[in-house]
Structure 1
Amino acid sequence: MSPRSKEQFEEIREASQRKIFDASLELFGTKGYEATSIALIAKKAGISKGLIYNYFDSKEALLQAMVDDLVSVGDDMIEKIWSDDPAKTLENLIQSIFEWFRQNENLNRLLIGLSTQVGKFQFVHDMAKGKMDGYLIMLEGLLQEIGFEDYQTEARILGTLFDGIALHHMLMKEDYPLDEVERMLIKKYCMKP
């Protein structure tokens, strides 16, 4: 058997990290960050604790890597929604956010849980503030181009609605009228006032 190439080692590393992230996400999202140990993550991922510590110095370092990974996913999502028409861009954004709600239950639980402990993890606060400030500016620009008079306040309201919808959907699951709310937001915000 020939020695593994640098690319093969990188693929193995990425696959191992993905297993760790997936197991952590499920456990953090269902049991909570505090109640989840590295040993429990290793068991869920089907790997050794030592392998986790090979990649991450601590459970908090693992969480920070997961948050960093999430930021890059969000940035990729924003790039894919862009259109020359600001109303279409906002519609794409709303649809992407609602699709995210539908497909990422454990991640949404984790994010909501972390948001209630923002003082505990400075990196979560810093990431959230930086990203939210950027998203708010983007929303303001889109709403201004669409023709909203008080686009700054509307952007804050829309951002707050997304947070509330995520929480209600998490709590009520299939009893929350997600499709109806999505259609209403598109109608309200993506058509010139």
Structure 2
Amino acid sequence: MARVVNEAAHAARRNAILDAAQRAIATKGYEQMAIADLLGELGISSGAFYHYFDSKPALLAALVERMGSEVEAQILPIVHDRELGAIEKFQRFFATADRWKLAHRDLLLAYTRIWYADDNAIVRHKLHSTRIKRLTPWLEEMILQGSQEGVFQTAYPDQAARLIISMLEDFGYAFAELFLSEECSQDDLPRLERIAVATSDAMERVLGAPANSLWLATRDDLAQWLPPYSSSVGTSTMNREASVSEGD
């Protein structure tokens, strides 16, 4: 019993540190976030902090990993839903991920400035490898289902899954390049939409899926990622997910 209590206390303290870091990054930015500020807010010693995280980059990596777990909790029920067809699963997969991202937009935009800096190239590569291991089995399961249903035409579901992840990764790089430019504005929306359309088209071709069946994001969704930012975060994505549900 004591071990269970200790494990629960350990997890609670670790999450409290992550929560404080998440707030600091969203409000101050990663570079301005000081470990000392976190210690003061939480009332803990530096020794207690370094018991959980050995560095500031390790803290950032843990935050990203936790966000991935949060998305996983929402996506896995879709992947394993036996009532949904493969294309519907892919549509809901992307819609759910988009809704979560828009709900955490300010934090993710703050991360974008950090994550695509040259100093984080090695950590970024490691996390890409982690995403490959985590996402490939989910995507492969949906691709195999689509092949059985005759809506996907690919003889290599495992490699197709990895290619899709790489395409999404490239989309992230393209968005970061656009977002991090000093002139980024709503005038860049056509360019961002073109990149999204091209990525969707490429995924459909890799899977041998019907045209326009795996649309990544609506124009309204994409617009919310460009300044000036809308306050109605997540609305268009939720409407899109609702329209998918109504089509069942």
Same fold flag (TM > 0.5): yes
Aligned to 1:174: 231
Counterpart amino acid of 1:90? F
Counterpart amino acid of 1:49? S
Is the Cα contact below 8 Å between 1:94 and 1:182 reproduced in 2? no
Deviations 1:165-187 (A, max 9, x none): 6633x8513156x4335545886
Deviations 1:13-55 (A, max 9, x none): 1111111000001111221111111011222334333311221
Q: Structure 1 residues 175, 72: closer, same or farther in 2, change over 3 A?
A: closer
Question: How many residues were matched structurally?
Answer: 184
State the distance in 2 between where 1:121 and 1:71 align: 19
Identity percentage over the alignment? 19
User: 1:77 is matched with which residue: 74, 78, 89?
Assistant: 74
Instruction: Name whichever structure is richer in helix by fraction.
Output: 1
Q: Structure 1 residues 107, 186: closer, same or farther in 2, change over 3 A?
A: same
Counterpart amino acid of 1:53? Y
Deviations 1:124-147 (A, max 9, x none): 233136527957x939946x9379
Q: Structure 1 residues 162, 122: closer, same or farther in 2, change over 3 A?
A: farther
Q: Structure 1 residues 179, 106: closer, same or farther in 2, change over 3 A?
A: closer
Aligned to 1:112: 112
State the distance in 1 between where 2:152 and 2:215 align: 16
Aligned to 1:145: 151
Q: Which runs of 5+ in 2 are unaligned?
A: 154-199, 207-211
Is the Cα contact below 8 Å between 2:95 and 2:238 reproduced in 1? yes
Larger RCO (alpha carbons 8 Å, 6+ apart): 1
Counterpart amino acid of 2:230? K
State the distance in 2 between where 1:90 and 1:149 align: 14
Q: Structure 1 residues 49, 164: closer, same or farther in 2, change over 3 A?
A: farther
- Report deviation, 1:58: 1.4
Aligned to 1:43: 40
Aligned to 2:10: 13
TM-score by length of 1: 0.69
Q: Structure 1 residues 32, 152: closer, same or farther in 2, change over 3 A?
A: farther
